[in-house]
Amino acid sequence: MRSLTLIKVASAGKKKSVEGRVNAVNLEDEERVYLLSIEEERGSSSVAMEGHRDDVVSNRPRKVYSDDQLAIEIPETAHQISSDSWFQVGFVLTTGINSAYVLGYSGAVMVPLGWVGGVVGLILATAISLYANALIAYLHEFGGKRHIRYRDLAGFIYGPKAYKLTWVLQYINLFMINVGYVILAGQALKATYVLFRDDNDMKLPYFIAIAGFACGLFAICIPHLSALRIWLGFSTFFSLVYIVIAFALSLRDGIRAPPRDYGIPGSNISKVFTTIGACASLVFAFNTGMLPEIQATVKQPVVGNMMKALYFQFTVGVVPLYAVAFMGYWAYGNEASAYLLNSVSGPVWVKTFANISAFLQTVIALHIFASPMYEYLDTKYGVKGSALALKNLSFRVVVRGGYLTVTTLLAAALPFIGDFMALTGAISTFPLTFILANHMYLVAKRNKLTSLQKSWHWLNVIFFGFMSAAAAVAALRLIAVDSKNYSIFADI
């Protein structure tokens, strides 16, 4: 690293106060040296300067860090940060993409797109999502601060208005994902019940209520994201159970079944809207809108370790998703169910094992996507100390229990909320994970990007802006259609 020009302050008869805040120094090898909170009070009447660089560095800086060292400035948080290995973080990411949502991709993605569109779309979505997440990961320590929340990063780059807007978009997005998880957990429980009793006494809203209660208990017991630890192992086991069973039973059914119809169903106008909705589902599968919050838990060096976790997620982690999505579509064609375990045939005990595993994994996965809300509330109200302290335990019971009660109530009232989630994805997932990712990187690195690179990022911003608008229109149409078919607290 090139040496820095120093400012020598010589003492004289008269005292002068020198206070300054030093910005990041861009070096030719693209290493950055950050200096924070320089405050000097020394007698001086003359200042001698060496060199001709524009960098301003005090002779007594409080802290000097490079990108490879510990983060310079860390915002206050009630949760643990910088404590997890990249491998653990990789499993957190993999738990998210291989949740019970994967059991619906055969019907939600492959059926509207067909073989060519579905396969090519999933591969492109994987590559695009890895790229967008990498952009966010590289900005984690931008400007000498560690941005442990998505809204912090947006606010640092754009200002307070962007901070508030990003906060709203992110939590609406995560809240709707959590609602979807409660519905999924309820559907898994109902599918188990139907295997033994098909008397229709227990409705879907009842199972959603049971699922919400289970999610609340788990949220109370697990104080923060890093505390998942062994539960990530259970999550991986549960994921493998329902994915392997769904794959194996679909394979058996596909071998025995007559030729399937792989044509895209619906009228021409219907195909247009369902295709747009399926494209939105493609990117929804890989993106969370909370990458900085997950990256906050990883050990130093945070960028390097986060990239390892992302590479793990988008290589090993996507294999189960691909396997169950393609196999389900191959076995049942355009009649593949929105919950694949409802389509498969096989021993009751095997299907029960798969459904219970899907339920348990969903409880764990929901906790990941609810963690940013928990972190905000815990930090805001100063929750510190032992997680088992009566005060902290009571706080989690009341606050997290209340949050999940509202989530469960909405899930039970609107079990066809997938249409609303599509709208939420259009107005929040696309902007957060693609539009903002490219534009923030463009703004942050504008002095280092070539004209071609700038054009590339602008192309992404415009393209995903168009996709966001198109997906919103398609989602509104779906809401209008399905609202005529379903009532509140419907049993579907």
Mean pLDDT by 10 residues, the chain (492 residues): 34 35 34 34 34 35 37 62 84 86 88 91 91 91 84 90 88 86 92 87 90 94 84 91 95 91 84 81 74 88 92 92 94 90 92 95 90 85 78 88 92 73 76 89 90 93 90 82 72 70
CA-to-CA distance for 223 and 370, rounded, in angstroms?
11
The encoded tokens of residue 74 equal 């860390």
Tell me what pLDDT residue 425 has: 73
Q: How far is CA 247 from the centre of its chain?
A: 26
CB 315, CB 286: distance < 8 Å:
no
The encoded tokens of residue 134 equal 């990498």
Sheet containing strand 32-43, edge to edge, reads 15-26, 32-43, 63-66
The residue written with tokens 């009228």 in the block is: 267
CB 440, CB 189: distance < 8 Å:
no
CA-to-CA distance for 481 and 53, rounded, in angstroms?
65
CA-to-CA distance for 101 and 90, rounded, in angstroms?
18
The residue written with tokens 């009649």 in the block is: 335
CA-to-CA distance for 205 and 474, rounded, in angstroms?
27
Tell me what pLDDT residue 416 has: 66
Task: Give the DSSP H/E element, type plus range, for residue 194.
Answer: helix 160-196
Nearest to 184 by CA among 101, 92, 105: 101
Tell me what pLDDT residue 418 has: 60
Q: Hey, is 371 helix, strand or coil?
A: helix
Helix pair angle (204-221, 160-196), 10° resolution: 120
Within 10 Å of residue 444's Cβ, how many Cβ atoms? Answer: 18
Phi-psi region of 3 (alpha: psi -120 to 50; beta: other; left: phi over 0): beta
Q: Hey, is 41 helix, strand or coil?
A: strand
Residue 492 DSSP symbol = -
Tell me what pLDDT residue 276 has: 83
Cα end-to-end distance, the chain, whole Å: 63
The encoded tokens of residue 270 equal 């219907």
Torsion sign (Cα): 43, 45, 51, 54: positive
H helical segments located in 98-159:
105, 111-138, 150-158
CA-to-CA distance for 391 and 285, rounded, in angstroms?
38
Instruction: Using DSSP bridges, classify how beta strands 63-66 and 32-43 pair: parallel, antiparallel or unpaired.
Output: antiparallel
**260 Cβ contact list (under 8 Å, min separation 6):** 254, 330, 331, 332, 333, 334, 335
Query: Position 318: which residue type?
Result: V
